[in-house]
């Protein structure tokens, strides 16, 4: 019998070749194989027999397949989201958008929220979890992503407050929104990416022309006509793009403010 403890140690050594967090990866995969949480694993399951399925999960990770695709879930803000091939995996840095929105509204609350490029519903559902009286609309060009978004809304009990629609950014939208969230593609076509991103996540959710700004040039001109009075658009950016995206906002008569992520890098432009 190989114990969970021993299997974790062996997997950690193997995963050092493909991951910056090999021990964490091993623990998450083991918890998934055991059908439990990582906390429960570490607190009381280390001397259990290692399940046979664990080796298969480790082998998948050794091909650079993202942990979130292997386990089928990713935690974001205060919610857990189902994810899989064909959808962008939520990143911790994107939580900066929710923090920025909460700071903007303070004691107020948005009534209508728009999430452009919603993916598996990441930003919209996290925002609706914060404001239980709000309703929202998520737009995405991918039917695969929208399928995940609808399932996540159902699982979180938000299906009556979250609508999802296939669309091309702001095309065909009308009405006004108190909060507009967006995490568009912002990577230049020639920028290098690690294999677990480049080989697995959808290119259309990553790349946006030679300078990574193509989709901002499409989204920002529509914002003045979609923002309600007192509202804000909160847009994720690449860490080198704060000045360029701020200028694009100013050209539309919007006032930009830049916010840093947890690593101290510019990550969000708020436009009002």
- Read off the pLDDT of residues 14-36 as tens digits, 9 standing for 90 and up: 999 999 999 999 999 999 999 99
Mean pLDDT over the full length of the chain? 97
- Read off the pLDDT of residues 194-241 as tens digits, 9 standing for 90 and up: 999 999 999 999 999 999 999 999 999 999 999 999 999 999 999 999
Task: Identify the structural domains of the chain with CATH numbers, from first to last.
Answer: 4-63 (1.10.8), 74-271 (3.40.50.150)
Report the alpha-carbon distance of residue 204 to residue 184 in Å, rounded: 10
Report the alpha-carbon distance of residue 153 to residue 126 in Å, rounded: 10
Q: Is the pLDDT of residue 182 over 90?
A: yes
Token pair of 224 as six digits: 């003045």
Report the alpha-carbon distance of residue 78 to residue 133 in Å, rounded: 17
Q: What is the mean pLDDT of residues 140-164?
A: 98
Q: Is the pLDDT of residue 1 over 90?
A: no
Report the alpha-carbon distance of residue 213 to residue 185 in Å, rounded: 8
Report the alpha-carbon distance of residue 67 to residue 58 in Å, rounded: 10
- Read off the pLDDT of residues 155-165 as tens digits, 9 standing for 90 and up: 999 999 999 99
- Read off the pLDDT of residues 101-129 as tens digits, 9 standing for 90 and up: 999 999 999 999 999 999 999 999 999 99
Report the alpha-carbon distance of residue 59 to residue 200 in Å, rounded: 15
- Residue 101 near residue 113 (C-beta atoms within 8 A): no
Full-model pTM: 0.95
pLDDT, residue 187, reads 96
pLDDT, residue 62, reads 98
pLDDT, residue 185, reads 97
* Backbone torsion region of residue 35, taken as left when φ is above 0, otherwise alpha when ψ lies between -120 and 50, otherwise beta: left
Report the alpha-carbon distance of residue 21 to residue 19 in Å, rounded: 5
Q: Residue 40, Cβ neighbours under 10 Å: how many?
A: 12
Q: Is the pLDDT of residue 190 over 90?
A: no
Q: What is the mean pLDDT of residues 56-77?
A: 97
- Alpha helical stretches, state H, the chain: 4-15, 22-34, 38-44, 53-61, 67-71, 95-105, 122-130, 143-155, 195-198, 214-219, 223-226, 242-250
* Backbone torsion region of residue 172, taken as left when φ is above 0, otherwise alpha when ψ lies between -120 and 50, otherwise beta: left
Token pair of 231 as six digits: 């509202």
């Amino acid at each position: 019998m190989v114990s969970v403890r021993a299997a974790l140690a062996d997997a950690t050594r193997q995963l050092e070749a493909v991951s910056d967090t090999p021990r964490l990866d091993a623990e998450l995969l083991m918890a998934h194989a055991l059908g439990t949480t990582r906390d429960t694993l570490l607190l009381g399951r280390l001397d259990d027999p290692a399940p046979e399925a664990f080796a298969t999960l480790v082998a998948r990770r050794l091909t650079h397949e993202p942990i979130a695709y292997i386990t089928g879930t990713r935690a974001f803000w205060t919610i857990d989201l189902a994810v899989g091939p064909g959808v962008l995996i939520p990143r911790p840095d994107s939580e900066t958008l929710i923090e920025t929105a909460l700071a903007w509204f303070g004691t107020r609350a948005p009534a209508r929220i728009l999430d452009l490029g919603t993916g598996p519903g990441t930003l919209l559902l996290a925002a609706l979890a914060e404001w239980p009286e709000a309703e929202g609309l998520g737009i995405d060009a991918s039917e695969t992503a929208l399928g995940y978004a609808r399932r996540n809304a159902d699982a979180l009990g938000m299906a009556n407050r979250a609508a999802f629609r296939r669309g091309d950014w702001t095309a065909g939208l009308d009405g006004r929104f108190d909060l507009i969230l967006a995490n568009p593609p912002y990577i230049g076509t020639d920028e290098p990416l690690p294999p677990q991103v480049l080989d697995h996540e959808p290119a259309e959710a990553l790349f946006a022309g030679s300078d990574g700004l193509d989709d901002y040039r499409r989204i920002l001109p529509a914002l003045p006509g979609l923002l309600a009075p007192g509202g804000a658009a909160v847009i994720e950016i690449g860490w080198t793009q704060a000045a360029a995206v701020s200028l694009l906002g100013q050209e539309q008569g919007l006032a930009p403010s830049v916010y840093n992520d947890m690593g101290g890098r510019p990550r969000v432009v708020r436009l009002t």
